[in-house]
Amino acid sequence: MNQSLPTRAFREHTDLAQLKRQAKELLDAFRAGEPAATTEVHAHYRDADLTTFALHDAQLVTARAYGFASWPKLKAFVDGVTAKRLVDAVRTGDIARVETMLRVRPELVNMDMGMDEHRPIHFAVLARSPEMTRLLMGNGADARKGIHPHREATAALTLAIEHEYDDIIAIIREEEARRPKEALSPDVAEPTGDPSATDFRGRGGPLLTAVLENRPDELSRLLDLGLDPNERVRVMGMDEIVFSAGGPLYLCVERRNRGMAELLLEKGADPNANVFTSGTPLYLAYSRQAWDFVALLESHGGLLDAISAGFACQTEAARQLIADEDAGCLRADAVSPGSTVAEDLLWSAAGGGDAAIVGMALRRIDWPREDTRWGWPLWQAFTCDGDIDRGLACFRLLLDRADPNVNRGGQTILHTVMARGGPSQLPFADLLLDHGARTDIRDELLESTPLGWACRWGHVHFVKLLLARGADPVEAGAPTWATPAAWARKMNHRDVLKLLPTSTS
């Protein structure tokens, strides 16, 4: 498998003709001895020989530079053989199209649908399609990986079991039995190591490895060879082209390894590089209150962007970003593409538990109450890294502006609270109900109401609350497997069953 790190990013509306032209230009530049082309070729093609290097070799280098293992895979992606189109074919039951696409790009079978982590096998199971399920499983689909944030409940096999789709269950188990045991994913992944630490396994190259192994001499040698100190990598598991950069420096901050951090910074490492889902090295220094690293990184150009300022609860930095935006001097990388300072601050400060910044952002946001964008800040406030009181303060501010029933896939924030909240988080549910959260909305995956979710997860405290607030305990019109009592029985929550009417248990 190609292990080289990607060096190119797609331009808008990239097509095959452009890629062919790029490969031809790379070939000509390499043959002419141009330094940039020579560096790129050697980064992706070991022992490239100038006398024999041909167009097909340049095409391979071009594909690897974009993060693909081969030219045919890059071509297939540009031609529309993508995860999204595979899911479309699965949903419409187009067996022939799915077979054709998987022959060209078999890795698509286990690609996530962007950040929501839906995979083709989920749609085949929910459609109760035996033929499609067998086809995907025969091509290596993983039926045991769930969807964030409720992975233990949303693996395709779990959904089949809980929907009582016996035919689908049998197909999945039959196809799994054909595989080597070590190829199976666990039903629920076990946490490993420090839960506050970033897991960099398989997410970097030689520089990150040198930091992981605490080998400053090796890090220095690699940097002297000209390797990119930011070590950009393509995020795997998604068909969408997403890059992560800055892992080596981020890890130095996490491990308080100042010496190796200085080596990287001296070679141009960017303290503002974004490590996918983890933020920037400077954000980490602020969030860990590692003030010596804050000073070091800021002396090398480190500046908090809006998301980092929100999560790190840096009120003055947030205020300055807003002032810069108003003055027209905001730096380009201070906000997410297509976003504003206030929009980035809103959800990140909710996640950091900073009500002052949330209030500052809300004064600049005019979303309608029913706008689905409210769902993400509400989620962030509920799962706030700070204490519950800080999260509640943000949650309350948001609910003064947002419809509590905004949802995605039928799943409202009340559903999420029911699944993830402990007794100490009852105030979140009370706030939602006080602001008009409905108890009769069913999500798409479990086809259940918030009470059904509370029963599935065995959360007695929420079951009692919802029943006291008028939730229907019977749900006569629900699928028989998705009633509150059905969930309590399936999950063997006897204490929950005792709270439900006898006729339903």
Mean pLDDT of 140-157: 92
Residue type, 164: E
One domain for residues 279 and 318: no
CA–CA distance, 425 with 418 (Å, rounded to integer): 10
Summarised one tens digit per residue, pLDDT across range 442-477 is: 998 899 999 999 999 999 999 999 999 999 999 999
Mean pLDDT of 265-270: 96
CA–CA distance, 1 with 32 (Å, rounded to integer): 29
pLDDT at 2 exceeding the cut of 60? no
Summarised one tens digit per residue, pLDDT across range 42-82 is: 888 878 888 999 999 999 999 888 888 889 888 888 888 88
pLDDT at 388 exceeding the cut of 50? yes
The beta strand positions in 208-254, using DSSP E, are 233-234, 243-244
In a domain, 200, yes or no: no
Write down which residue in 276, 302, 328 finishes a domain.
Answer: 302
Quickly list DSSP for 149-174: T-HHHHSHHHHHHHHT-HHHHHHHHH
pLDDT at 190 exceeding the cut of 60? no
Q: Are 308 and 349 in contact (CB under 8 A)?
A: no
What does the pLDDT read at residue 186? 55
What does the pLDDT read at residue 204? 65
What does the pLDDT read at residue 192? 35
What does the pLDDT read at residue 182? 62
Asked which of 167-171, 342-346, 352-356, 410-414 is least confident by mean pLDDT, the reply is 410-414
What does the pLDDT read at residue 130? 97
Q: What percent of the chain has pLDDT above 70?
A: 91
In a domain, 408, yes or no: yes
One domain for residues 308 and 297: no
What does the pLDDT read at residue 148? 84
> Which residue range forms the structural domain that includes residue 434?
404-505
Determine phi and psi for 412, rounding to 5 degrees.
-95, 170
pLDDT top residue among 263 and 232: 263
One domain for residues 425 and 332: no
One domain for residues 110 and 152: yes
One domain for residues 274 and 288: yes
In a domain, 320, yes or no: yes
The contacts of residue 496 (CB under 8 Å, 6+ apart) are 454, 455, 458, 460, 463, 484, 488
Instruction: With cut-offs at 50, 70 and 90, classify the pLDDT of residue 113.
Output: confident
pLDDT at 370 exceeding the cut of 90? yes
pLDDT at 211 exceeding the cut of 50? yes
Instruction: With cut-offs at 50, 70 and 90, classify the pLDDT of residue 196.
Output: very low
Quickly list DSSP for 418-465: HHH--GGGHHHHHHHHHTT--S----SSS---HHHHHHHTT-HHHHHH
b (16+ CB within 10 A) / e for 257-284: beebbebbbebebbbbbbbbebbbbbbb
As a whole number, the mean pLDDT across the chain is: 90
In a domain, 390, yes or no: no
pLDDT at 189 exceeding the cut of 80? no
Mean pLDDT of 287-307: 95
Domain with residue 235: its CATH number is 1.25.40.20
Write down which residue in 62, 78, 94 finishes a domain.
Answer: 78
Residue 33's CB is within 10 A of a number of other CB atoms, namely 9
- Separation in Å, CA 79 to CA 23, 24, 72, 336: 17, 19, 10, 28
One domain for residues 119 and 174: yes
One domain for residues 58 and 97: no
Q: Which of 418, 330, 322 is nearest to 362 (CA)?
A: 322
One domain for residues 409 and 500: yes
Domains identified in the chain, total number: 5
Mean pLDDT of 375-403: 94
Residue linked to tokens 């910074």: 265
> Residue 351 CA to chain centroid, in angstroms?
15
Write down which residue in 78, 101, 127 finishes a domain.
Answer: 78
What does the pLDDT read at residue 66? 86
One domain for residues 372 and 416: no
Instruction: With cut-offs at 50, 70 and 90, classify the pLDDT of residue 1.
Output: very low
pLDDT at 4 exceeding the cut of 80? no
Instruction: Provide the token pair at 17.
Output: 């003709």
Q: Which of 47, 51, 43 is nearest to 7 (CA)?
A: 43
Instruction: With cut-offs at 50, 70 and 90, classify the pLDDT of residue 235.
Output: confident
What does the pLDDT read at residue 314? 95
pLDDT at 40 exceeding the cut of 90? no
Mean pLDDT of 165-180: 95
What does the pLDDT read at residue 117? 83
In a domain, 224, yes or no: yes
Q: Are 350 and 380 in contact (CB under 8 A)?
A: yes
pLDDT at 12 exceeding the cut of 80? no
pLDDT at 197 exceeding the cut of 80? no
The contacts of residue 382 (CB under 8 Å, 6+ apart) are 391, 395, 413, 416, 417, 420, 421, 425, 428
- Separation in Å, CA 49 to CA 25, 52, 113, 207: 17, 6, 39, 26
CA–CA distance, 302 with 307 (Å, rounded to integer): 14
- Angle, to 10 degrees, between the axis of helix 35-44 and the axis of helix 55-65? 80
Instruction: With cut-offs at 50, 70 and 90, classify the pLDDT of residue 326.
Output: very high
pLDDT at 360 exceeding the cut of 60? yes
Given phi > 0 = left and psi -120 to 50 = alpha, else beta, which region is 145?
Answer: beta
CA–CA distance, 56 with 59 (Å, rounded to integer): 5
pLDDT at 115 exceeding the cut of 70? no
CA–CA distance, 455 with 488 (Å, rounded to integer): 5
pLDDT at 188 exceeding the cut of 50? no
pLDDT at 118 exceeding the cut of 70? yes
Q: What percent of the chain has pLDDT above 90?
A: 71
CA–CA distance, 147 with 88 (Å, rounded to integer): 18
What does the pLDDT read at residue 52? 93
What does the pLDDT read at residue 75? 86
One domain for residues 105 and 161: yes
